[in-house]
């Protein structure tokens, strides 16, 4: 795991690949918990019989579930020290390019794309690529923005 000491050290990493998380298994329990938390009970996610009738053959995770793994997986890639506050500023580009089937394993690679100063801190733009074990196409590619304040 990478340890970054402060906003200036993170700023020096623009353009660099920061690392790749561990694999995370997406279970039916995870999918059901996400459905309950969001109220999205679409059968393709929760009903194995219905999912068997689709081209996927099994339940698939919500795309937003995959995206929601970002903060957890970032914490496996690097730890930030020497700042007073970090805020999820949002996302610019998010694409769900391949479904995550139940019991698949996903991981995320992280690249720091850019930094912009804001009053009292800086906004860092990260490319997040969520890979699926054994699949050629990633599940999701997103540009996440995190604001750090020294």
As a whole number of angstroms, the distance between CA 42 and CA 56 comes to 15
As a whole number of angstroms, the distance between CA 86 and CA 148 comes to 5
User: Once rounded to an integer, what is the mean pLDDT over residues 34-56?
Assistant: 96
6-34 b/e (C-beta count within 10 Å ≥ 16 → b): ebeebbebeeeebbebeebebeeebbeeb
What tens digit of pLDDT does each residue of 55-109 get?
A: 999 999 999 999 999 999 999 999 999 999 999 999 999 999 999 999 999 999 9
- SS3 readout for 35-66: HHHHCCCCHHHHCHHHHHCCCCCCCECCHHHH
Q: In the chain, what are the domain boundaries?
A: 2-26+61-149
CATH class name, domain 2-26+61-149:
alpha beta
């Amino acid at each position: 795991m990478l340890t970054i000491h402060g906003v200036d050290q993170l700023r020096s990493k623009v353009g660099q690949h920061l690392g790749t998380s561990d694999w995370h298994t997406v279970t039916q329990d995870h999918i059901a918990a996400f459905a309950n938390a969001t109220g999205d009970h679409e059968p393709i996610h929760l009903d194995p019989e219905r999912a068997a009738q689709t081209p996927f053959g099994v339940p698939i995770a919500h795309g937003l579930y995959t995206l929601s793994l970002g903060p957890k997986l970032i914490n496996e890639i690097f730890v930030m020290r020497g700042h007073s506050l970090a805020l999820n500023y949002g996302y610019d580009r998010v694409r769900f390019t391949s479904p995550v089937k139940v019991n698949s394993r996903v991981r995320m690679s992280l690249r720091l794309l850019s930094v912009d100063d804001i009053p009292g801190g800086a906004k860092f733009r990260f490319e997040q690529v969520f890979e699926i074990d054994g699949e050629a196409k990633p599940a999701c590619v997103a540009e996440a923005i995190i604001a750090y304040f020294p």
